[in-house]
Amino acid sequence: MPLTFLDSLLGRPRRGSWAYHAYSIWLFTFSDIKTIVGPKTIFGILNALALPSEEEQWTVKMVQILIRLPVVAFWVWINLLPFAIDNQRQPAAILEDNLNKPWRTMPSGRMTEFQARCLMFGLYPVAFAASLYLGGVRQSVGLMVLGYAYNDVGLADWSWVSRNAVNALGFCCFASGALEVALNCPLSAERHGQMVEWLGLVSLVVFSTVQTQDMADQSGDSLRGRKSLPLTVGDGTARWLTAVPMGFWSVACPLYWGVGSSGPNLLVRVLGFGVACSTLVFRSVEADKRTFRVWNLWMASLYALPLLAAVGM
């Protein structure tokens, strides 16, 4: 539980203090550090390193990109924050979080719905302004549109197809935006054709496998009437519809980049088939949560493929 960790470091913050409010804001994105902030920062940095450069000294290019790592992470986080607030302030989300994540800001009573709404409306311009300065402004606007579609129109609940599609587009916006911030220049089909193709491929990967996150949340999703894949087609069928694409992409993505079967590339296959097998065999809620964590590691290993191809591994 996140609050326990904070208490062990700082003691319980006094209600109404700056530390209390700062931690309330942090809790909105706590669950997404491992799924959005970390992986998309990794994507931006690794894929920026993989792209060819006019810089003769590769070490100079590497340093220029690596020193932007905190900036990339900040861009992802500041664009995620208003989206997460909009999502978690919804009545159905609070009802679900009371069951699955009672420590979050809204179900724990750390903030009212009115306060959360005001904070969200105040943070969207901050995210846009940060993107104007750092890069990724197109993606920032795209995330605003997707956030409205996901949270307010309800595309996340209509069907598993619309839910997975919005997730895939969101992943693509975060990944491409992080890449632009790492490069300190916009992406273009003319200059970065294969990378644009790769972003499309990653979107397909996410669309066909992101339901891994829904396997452990079936009770909460059922409570709020969400038509996720396991609740639509049944738990057993959903597991096969996840395992088969996992195996396919674990082979197809390394082939796309023409990488060999060395240790780093073998890790993609090991993690991918591990997720597939775990999804089919271990079906408890705790096991599904572990499987989803490994899925995120697998996605991060996919993000490294362009760099491995660039260095000839």
Q: Are 175 and 195 in contact (CB under 8 A)?
A: no
Q: What is the predicted pLDDT for the residue at 124?
A: 96
Residue 30 to residues 1, 24, 176, 219, 242: CA-CA distances in angstroms? 10, 10, 22, 21, 26
The answer as to whether 3 is a domain residue is no
At residue 313 the predicted structure's pLDDT band, cuts being 50, 70 and 90, is low
The answer as to whether 300 is a domain residue is yes
Q: Which of 18, 25, 16 lies closest to 2, judged by CA? A: 25
Amino acid at 7: D
**Helix, strand, coil percent content, the chain, rounded in steps of 5:** 80, 0, 20
The answer as to whether 157 is a domain residue is yes
The answer as to whether 60 is a domain residue is yes
* CA dihedral angle for residue 116, residue 117, residue 118, residue 119, rounded to 10 degrees: 50
The answer as to whether 183 is a domain residue is yes
The answer as to whether 243 is a domain residue is yes
* CA dihedral angle for residue 206, residue 208, residue 212, residue 214, rounded to 10 degrees: 100
Report the first-to-last Cα separation within the chain, whole angstroms: 40
The answer as to whether 81 is a domain residue is yes
Q: How far apart are CA 82 and CA 59, in angstroms?
A: 36
Instruction: Please give the model's pTM, rounded to 2 decimal places.
Output: 0.87
The answer as to whether 8 is a domain residue is no
Domain count, the chain: 1
- Find the domain containing 138 and state its range: 18-310
Identify the H or E element spanning 129. Answer: helix 113-134
105-126 tens-digit pLDDT: 889 888 899 999 999 999 999 9
122-164 tens-digit pLDDT: 999 999 999 999 999 999 999 999 999 988 888 878 889 999 9
Tokens standing for residue 80: 């995620």
